[in-house]
Amino acid sequence: MNIKRMIRVSLFAAFLAVSVYLLPPILVPVIDVSVTLQTLFVMLIGYLLSPIEAFLSVFIYVLLGAIGLPVFSGLRGGIQPIIGPTGGFIMLFPVVAYLISKFKSKVRNKPYDLFIGFIFGIVMLYLVATLWLSFSLGINYFSALLGMLIFIPVDIVKLLIAYAIYLRLPKEIIR
C-alpha cells in the first residue's frame, strides 16, 4: 500500500470518528440504540474508496474505538459498546463499507448504486446486526427487528445524502 492510499484510509477513518461529534446521538430508549451519522459515513466510505481501502478505513475506526477512544455513539469507546446492543452494527460496519464498494457500479449507475447501498447498508446491516441486538438484550429477534424499523426511514435519508455527496465529488478522487 502506497502513502497516498494510507493517507486516504486514515483520513476516512478520521471522518468516521468525527461523525459522532457532528450530531449528538438521539437515543431511542426502549432498545438502547441511538440515531447517529455513522451509517451515513460508512456508506459514503463504501461509495468513495476501493473495497480494501473502505474495509481498512472502517476497521481502523472500530479498532480506535475498541482501544478506548471515544468514537462510538454517545462518545463512548472501549469494548463495552462492541459487546453491547449496538456491537453488531459496529462490527458489521467494515463489511458494509467493503460490500458497497465491491458491488457499486463503475459508471455511477444511480438506481443500481442506490440499490446496492440499500441492500448492504440497510437491509443486510439490520438483519444481521439485530441478531446481536436481540441476544445482548435477551429479547426475541423479531421483536428486536420490529423495534429497529423506526430507524430505516432515517437511514434511507442518510443513504441518499451519502450518494448525493458521492455524485458531487470529481471522479478523479473516487476509487
Res 12: pLDDT? 96
Domain that includes residue 132, residue range: 3-173
Res 98: pLDDT? 98
The domain spanning residue 90 has which CATH number?
1.10.1760.20
Alpha carbon distance 1, 148 (integer Å): 38
Instruction: Provide the domain count of the chain.
Output: 1
Res 74: pLDDT? 82
Mean pLDDT by 10 residues, the chain (175 residues): 92 94 72 78 97 98 96 91 92 98 93 97 96 93 89 94 94 75
Dihedral of CA atoms 104, 133, 90, 124 in degrees, nearest 10, equals -10
